[in-house]
Structure 1
Amino acid sequence: MSSKAKRVLPTRPEPPTVEQILADVRGTRPSDPVFVLAAEPRQGGGNDGIPLPDFPVPEKHEDATDERERLYRQSRSYVEMNQRLQESCLLLKEKCEELRQAGATLEQDILEMRQKAF
């Protein structure tokens, strides 16, 4: 029987503090790929001469407004559905408690009937 040595992994480093994150963000260039919107048109190729992929570009200001309106309606729908679900949850809890009480009453009535019968 062979035993394998347990591998000890190094401990994880502490996550960065808010100050460290902010300092890192402040130290980046505006052209950093993380801050470039995917919808912005890109000119030419990358630094290595390889052409960059084409990304969809919003055609008009109305498209952005329509998108915001769609997202707003979707958010409202979500909030309304969430409220209905919460109300339904409360109603179900009430009905469940009523059923428990009815079950307890039924159990009590059955016990009384058995006592009377015997």
Structure 2
Amino acid sequence: MNLGSKGKKRVVLPSRPEPPTVEQILEDVSSSTSDDPLFRLQDTDSVSSSSSGDAEVELKFERCRRFMELNHRLTEAREQLKEQREELRASGERLKRDIQEVKTRMQTQEQQG
């Protein structure tokens, strides 16, 4: 019989925070600078980093930044296209109603005349 475990109080751990959303991660990456530790590569095999390694890191950072900018522009363009599509749909509906109204008026005038 293990009496020792019954005497211990349970420690209540704090709840885990929610993981960041994709938008929060993208915002964090896009607002970072090239000297951010996220973009630094650690070479454990060599004592010092070479300038070519720094250039490679800078290149990767710029590619990442360009990707983020393009992704943002594509998201904006998609939203703009959705709005324009809805405007066109609404215009098409109004046009159909107007055409039907004109046809109705012409039929009414033909019947009267």
TM-score by length of 1: 0.49
Q: Deviations over 1:12-33 (max 9, x none)?
A: xxxxxxxxxxxxxxxxxxxxxx
Q: Following superposition, which runs of at least 4 residues in structure 1 exceed 2 angstroms of deviation?
A: 57-60
Aligned to 1:80: 76
Instruction: Read off the aligned partner of 2:70 and give its amino acid letter.
Output: Q
SS at match of 1:60: helix
Query: 2: CA distance between counterparts of 1:85 and 1:103?
Result: 26
Q: Deviations over 1:81-107 (max 9, x none)?
A: 010100000000000000000001000
1:1-118 maps to which residues of 2 (within 5 A)? 59-117=55-113
Deviation for aligned residue 1:60: 2.5
Deviation for aligned residue 1:58: 8.7
- Give the length in aligned residue pairs: 61
TM-score by length of 2: 0.51
Structure having the higher helix fraction is 2
Distance 1:103 1:58, change over 3 A: farther
5+ residue gaps, structure 1: 1-56
Distance 1:86 1:58, change over 3 A: farther
Identity fraction in percent: 15
Aligned to 2:43: none
Q: Deviations over 1:7-64 (max 9, x none)?
A: xxxxxxxxxxxxxxxxxxxxxxxxxxxxxxxxxxxxxxxxxxxxxxxxxx99421111
Deviation for aligned residue 1:108: 0.3
- Name which structure has the greater RCO, CA cutoff 8 Å, separation 6+: 2
When the two chains are superposed, the root-mean-square deviation of aligned CA atoms in Å is 1.7
